[in-house]
Structure 1
């Protein structure tokens, strides 16, 4: 996305200044659609094609020249100098603005995105975070847009290695340059075909992972590189070049209006803007459209395209969050565009352009290191060195963000003093001192239950036969009595109080927890299991077989949920899915006792939108503002109590009083924040639930004859 050096030449074989103008036009579409339309425009796809055209094309042309340098460091260093200083400046500035004006945006996920952005793997980090590309809103990452810079950076590295290999073959192995060029073109064609096929495997609409994937995006860059090697005689007729170029610009312009979803990219529909870009490229630069694209305003826009892309998105997100808008209004969008362009111009003038390497790539006989040392004795050279040192410092600061944030999160994991932070015990009359609640609501989302942290949780991508290891046991690991904790992530925090209770009352806790996967039976063909994925449904049967082999004294899981698919939830009274009832019937047939825990609240705004009460507090709202009426998510009576009434060794525990007081579900009770996020309870609050949980479990243990008094201490030895 960074603009290549401009040249005043204009002939049909000269540097394509008009393509810099096309780059500027594409970035304008990206910004306008982000700000005013709220979806992608296809401009990023054009960026990637032009990056392939300029960068890989230049790498291969250099490699085929006489006496090329075989040191890959020089093109890499040139690329670093061109891209990293502006990136480091923007990323560090964004982090400072977030911490100062929108702290609710700061999170473990964002800190990891900072590192990923600086090291050019942001696209894969977003895939790992299951972050589908989203329109600007209060819930969108201010660094989301840097996925494309990572794809570009990864491609640049491959292009440098490919160019070095070609140079080695020609200069050291005496390979024929023309034949080597044909081989390189063949490799690019193979990459283009294979990558396009991979990107199109879902049809016209793909997935978030497909959108970000380097393998899915590679064809856009390699196609651009192929265009750089199209012979002049294959270009479109000059007599109609203005029309074909205009058609190309029209296709690029129309893309954002006719393709409504970002998930269409980079699949077959991405051909729409890329064919448009290819038409502009193949029409040459001696036509009326090329003249417009080569004009001063367009090439200026192209020159600031890279910093404009960097600045516009985080500014849009920040003003949206600070202003409390669901989506930015038009007047605010206009202000963001104006400010972004001003910052982009300043960044290009004082950071990007001065620090980039302007001299040609050295040949094998050149002495660039000695020349660079000599330049330090000049004022311009000294200023460049100082600017480079500052850019390096910003780079280091950016890489320090994640360790800094992880350290703060680790501090939030420390146990709380129950005298000061009684949590749920305040519901039993414990004194609540007048102190700030804990843990820090800005950090709590990064503190996960031990099951997931210790590798004992089965995550979404894993197969249906993936099970927790034999060491995934809590409580009294030497006890004979086994309690199995099973279900999705909402049961996961209960390992904390059960671990404590197991050690006190001598039972062990085996965990069978899978992300977004309550235990169901009947397999994926059972219509009752439509609330879970097919893999989850298959996993349920496999897990139940493993659980039976443990001969458990009881199974503990959640018993209700809001409407919606597993992993999702809408503002609705809780209910018992048919799949849950089917499980309980099977367990009754197997004579396996079951204890159900009514699900905790999923927090929502008055308009039904999901609300993270911690971020609500961090944003400066009152606890009342960040609370929710209990009847939004709770039915008047516990719906699971009808099924789990104590018969067939199946019991229900109504947990609603643990989270809601007098019909209101607050963000904290007893100075302890209840939630880790919008719908999971925090470790800290779960720990305070142990006495309340035992109030309900103790009688059930007694009814099942599971109470095991600790062995008496051995008598002291008699005196000799």
Structure 2
């Protein structure tokens, strides 16, 4: 972003340098900061940065090619990255240290990966790959390195764009040397612009979360900047009144587009043309510093000075905001707190620019190793050293953090069952002070329960609307002994249920759809859920298993608009009776299970923050669940006999009316509502006992 946001101090002394574009950088980054900090949204300023970076790169390279000089490749890459990396490395080091100390360990692995992704310019692809995952953790918690996505896209373009320019120069010299180089390069960038914009519009409409971070969906913004650089001499010949009017209109649009447009939800499709074309109008406006031109406003000394610091301001403001919100426990910054964050970001940028970036640039320009090495050769060596040192130094705390995680894994693996008995903890049991709570908060991704193999043979669903199906145990060609049917709240008991059936020599099937409670008409608003319920009903009825286990009640985590507690809101699944009837008609018994309590916070994160007092993370069963089990109330008003029975595991999770976050040194939950596999496996005997008592099954 350095090429986008700042120039060396002496750049203002070079002929043709536009001071007002320094002010445009500053304005863009201030918009980004204000919208992030005060409005929790994005402004379109980053799109302007991306366009500007290509504008400057193409301008300088095209001038060089037009003079008959070769386009810089290796030296150009080293020049840019030797300026980008020092400040970025400092920010990443600061984020790693702060995150290690401040953030809960549930987020460590993600940030370790993001630290490397940010440092090596593929953060945008990391975020793209992790945006739409039902089982992803902390999707609502912002990463302090999330803003590096734009730097990653820009870094990728800084590698690609010189190749495009070099290829254009080669074609120009061989075939079109009589023509202006701008026509050849403009044709290449025009093709990139059209292809990328078409792709951006398509992928934004079909998968906007991926499109936002996709390099291919952003190429056109860079191509627009390059086309503007090549066309600027022609644009400068247009009447000044037209360019002046366009410049003011563009400046007002740049300032207001973030407030008017849904940047985060509709970009980078055709809507991103609004801020980028607006910035292009500002650049094409008359450059003399007159108050009749936008350049007069943008050339104000404070804006120009902030333009020198804007790269660092962008780097620092986001992690400062994330850590402030984490420490304060607030959802957003107040006006005063936001003002302080902006001032601190400016100060941090000033320090990093003065004491890190400028000395590194000065060293590259002035020092020498030996008279035997030409100055140009040394400069390349110095730039390579700056890149290598920056990457190496920033990698050290990342590796130390990762080693700490591995050490904790080794300690956890060395613990015995007596250190973490879970549901088998006896009264008076006292864990060792050095014993770690399991599962480790860094290992929660492995705590989702899928205990069997993908359904196959006679158990394989023919209907493609059933996406998730597991099977296990001994199949003898007949119907399975047990089918677990429902959503993730049925899935999270599957480790215990499958163990019970397999120990009895039986067979089982788990068929589920995340976020789709079987029998719930309310969940049918999602097409995948509606399809699943219809398909699963037919599938299970055709199987005609001996027993079908379903989740029959529905819990919530928070009070509603009428201030009813979660317990007061617990009800029977709204269309449960009608949906189980075909299963009963097929001869199956239905075990109607009460839902588990839900929390309004992450249990692992709470436990991680309350290592000395896990009780701070416990809940009240009276608050979380209805005083009368909705399943029992339903069965009392029906005459199902023993064909439909109730199963309630509340006593296991909430002994003596307290819903425990940790039982027997084991986390009961892996997030705010799903049980951990480690705990469920520790409770398999208790589950089997309750199941057999409810069903009289042997």
The two structures have a TM-score, normalised by structure 1, of 0.79
Q: Which residue of 2 aligns with 1:632?
A: 623
Give the 3 Å change call, closer, same or farther, for CA 514–355 of structure 1 in structure 2.
farther
With 666-675 and 208-217 compared, the bigger mean Cα shift is at 208-217
Does residue 257 (structure 1) correspond to residue 248 (structure 2)? The answer is no
Give the superposition deviation at 1:321. 1.6
Does residue 201 (structure 1) correspond to residue 205 (structure 2)? The answer is yes
User: Aligned ranges for residues 415-426 of structure 1 at < 5 Å?
Assistant: 417-426=416-425
Q: Which residue of 1 aligns with 2:659?
A: 665
Q: Which residue of 2 aligns with 1:525?
A: none
Q: Which residue of 1 aligns with 2:552?
A: 559
Does residue 191 (structure 1) correspond to residue 227 (structure 2)? The answer is no
Give the 3 Å change call, closer, same or farther, for CA 336–530 of structure 1 in structure 2.
same
Q: Is contact 1:118-1:398 (8 Å) kept?
A: no
Does residue 495 (structure 1) correspond to residue 494 (structure 2)? The answer is yes
Give the superposition deviation at 1:475. 4.8
Give the superposition deviation at 1:307. 1.7
Q: Which residue of 2 aligns with 1:618?
A: 608
Which residue among 328, 336, 357 is the counterpart of 1:331? 336
Q: Is contact 1:21-1:298 (8 Å) kept?
A: yes
Q: Please, which runs of 5 or more residues in structure 2 have no aligned partner?
A: 366-371, 456-462, 559-564
Which residue among 522, 532, 542 is the counterpart of 1:539? 532
Give the 3 Å change call, closer, same or farther, for CA 670–193 of structure 1 in structure 2.
closer
SS of equivalent residue, structure 1 residue 228: helix
Give the 3 Å change call, closer, same or farther, for CA 183–579 of structure 1 in structure 2.
farther
Q: Is contact 1:78-1:356 (8 Å) kept?
A: no
Q: Is contact 1:483-1:556 (8 Å) kept?
A: yes
Which residue among 594, 597, 603 is the counterpart of 1:598? 594
Distance in structure 1 (CA, Å) of the matches to 2:485 and 2:554: 15
Which residue among 302, 322, 343 is the counterpart of 1:317? 322
User: Aligned ranges for residues 391-410 of structure 1 at < 5 Å?
Assistant: 391-397=390-396, 400=399, 404=403, 407=406
Q: Is contact 1:107-1:443 (8 Å) kept?
A: yes
Give the 3 Å change call, closer, same or farther, for CA 320–260 of structure 1 in structure 2.
same
SS of equivalent residue, structure 2 residue 447: coil
Does residue 650 (structure 1) correspond to residue 644 (structure 2)? The answer is yes
Q: Is contact 1:520-1:541 (8 Å) kept?
A: no
CA deviations over 1:604-661 (Å, ceiling 9, x no partner): 2xxxxxx112222323484343222323331222223345676473333112222223
SS of equivalent residue, structure 2 residue 672: coil
Q: Which residue of 2 aligns with 1:149?
A: 151
Q: Is contact 1:320-1:326 (8 Å) kept?
A: yes
User: Aligned ranges for residues 71-220 of structure 1 at < 5 Å?
Assistant: 72-103=73-104, 106-130=107-131, 139-171=141-173, 177=181, 180-191=184-195, 193-195=197-199, 197-198=201-202, 201=205, 207-220=208-221
Distance in structure 2 (CA, Å) of the matches to 1:254 and 1:103: 37
Distance in structure 2 (CA, Å) of the matches to 1:691 and 1:395: 49
Give the 3 Å change call, closer, same or farther, for CA 48–468 of structure 1 in structure 2.
same
CA deviations over 1:521-555 (Å, ceiling 9, x no partner): 9xxxxxx2544520232234445555566554333
Distance in structure 2 (CA, Å) of the matches to 1:211 and 1:385: 32
SS of equivalent residue, structure 1 residue 201: helix
Q: Which residue of 2 aligns with 1:438?
A: 437
Give the superposition deviation at 1:146. 1.9
Distance in structure 2 (CA, Å) of the matches to 1:230 and 1:422: 72
Distance in structure 1 (CA, Å) of the matches to 2:532 and 2:626: 30
CA deviations over 1:434-471 (Å, ceiling 9, x no partner): 64661266435343235299989xxxxxx9546457xx
Q: Which residue of 2 aligns with 1:247?
A: 249
Give the superposition deviation at 1:25. 1.2
Give the 3 Å change call, closer, same or farther, for CA 689–43 of structure 1 in structure 2.
same
Q: Which residue of 2 aligns with 1:608?
A: none
Give the superposition deviation at 1:317. 1.4
SS of equivalent residue, structure 1 residue 556: strand
CA deviations over 1:135-167 (Å, ceiling 9, x no partner): x99932212222222232333343234224323
Q: Is contact 1:441-1:617 (8 Å) kept?
A: no
Distance in structure 1 (CA, Å) of the matches to 2:452 and 2:116: 21
Does residue 341 (structure 1) correspond to residue 346 (structure 2)? The answer is yes
SS of equivalent residue, structure 1 residue 491: helix
Give the 3 Å change call, closer, same or farther, for CA 433–452 of structure 1 in structure 2.
closer
Give the superposition deviation at 1:22. 0.4
Q: Is contact 1:485-1:511 (8 Å) kept?
A: yes
SS of equivalent residue, structure 1 residue 286: coil
SS of equivalent residue, structure 1 residue 107: helix
RMSD between aligned residues: 4.0
Q: Is contact 2:193-2:219 (8 Å) kept?
A: no
Give the 3 Å change call, closer, same or farther, for CA 659–415 of structure 1 in structure 2.
farther
Which residue among 575, 589, 596 is the counterpart of 2:571? 575
The two structures have a TM-score, normalised by structure 2, of 0.82
Does residue 682 (structure 1) correspond to residue 676 (structure 2)? The answer is yes
Does residue 696 (structure 1) correspond to residue 685 (structure 2)? The answer is no
Distance in structure 1 (CA, Å) of the matches to 2:168 and 2:364: 22
Q: Is contact 2:232-2:284 (8 Å) kept?
A: no
Give the superposition deviation at 1:322. 1.8
Q: Is contact 1:252-1:273 (8 Å) kept?
A: yes
Q: Is contact 1:64-1:166 (8 Å) kept?
A: no
Distance in structure 2 (CA, Å) of the matches to 1:121 and 1:452: 34
Distance in structure 2 (CA, Å) of the matches to 1:109 and 1:340: 24
SS of equivalent residue, structure 2 residue 230: coil
> How many residues are treated as equivalent by the alignment?
659
Q: Is contact 1:630-1:663 (8 Å) kept?
A: yes
Q: Is contact 2:6-2:310 (8 Å) kept?
A: no
Distance in structure 1 (CA, Å) of the matches to 2:524 and 2:607: 32
CA deviations over 1:21-57 (Å, ceiling 9, x no partner): 2011111121122223332222222212212322355
User: Aligned ranges for residues 489-528 of structure 1 at < 5 Å?
Assistant: 489-519=488-518, 528=521
